Amino acid sequence: MNLKVPVCLASVVTLALACLSLFAHHGTGVAYETEKTVTVKGTVTEWIWANPHCGLLFDATDENGNVVHWGAELGNPHQESGAGFTKEIFKPGDKITVTGHPAKSGAPRMSGAHFVLEDGRVLPEKRTKGNGEAAPEY
């Protein structure tokens, strides 16, 4: 019996199963309410410029006057640098307004989508192809 076909098929199935965890990790819809958005104003406590994801930690005051420690997850540094983010863009004490998809768990976490800095700059910046045309979003 020719074993090439079963061995090839088994290899393809094994590779496909091994790759499933990659898709699960990057499923924003698993951890975040992609149909909802929240906007939170706060003060930066830490900016994490690292792989595999950048993160912005900030404190906000809730309706009862309590400080809530928020976190916003972003993409990797290479991806974010193309959108105007830099390692030095946020400093502790900076005032920030963040809009994103809230965590399904109800925790003060979000998938950060839109950032307004104290000086009025908005991130991510509009990407262009160099000819003025809008580049595709990530």
DSSP the chain: ---HHHHHHHHHHHHHHHHHHHHHHT-HHHHB-TT--EEEEEEEEEEE--SS--EEEEEEE-TTS-EEEEEEE---HHHHHTTT--TTS--TT-EEEEEEEEBTT-SSEEEEEEEEETTS-EESPPPB-SSSPBPPP-
Closest among 91, 84, 110 to 99, alpha carbons compared: 110
pTM exceeding 0.75: no
Residue spans of the domains in the chain: they are: 33-123
pLDDT given for residue 137 in this prediction: 46
Q: What are phi and psi of 135, to 5 degrees?
A: -80, 155
pLDDT above 80 for 115: yes
CATH architecture assignment, domain 33-123: Beta Barrel (2.40)
pLDDT above 70 for 11: no
- Residue pair 123/113 in contact by the 8 Å Cβ criterion: no
Q: How confident is the model at residue 125 (pLDDT cuts 50, 70, 90)?
A: confident
Q: Which two tokens stand for residue 134?
A: 């809008």
pLDDT higher for 76 or 16? 76
Q: How confident is the model at residue 107 (pLDDT cuts 50, 70, 90)?
A: very high
When pLDDT is averaged across residues 27-51 and rounded to a whole number, the result is 91
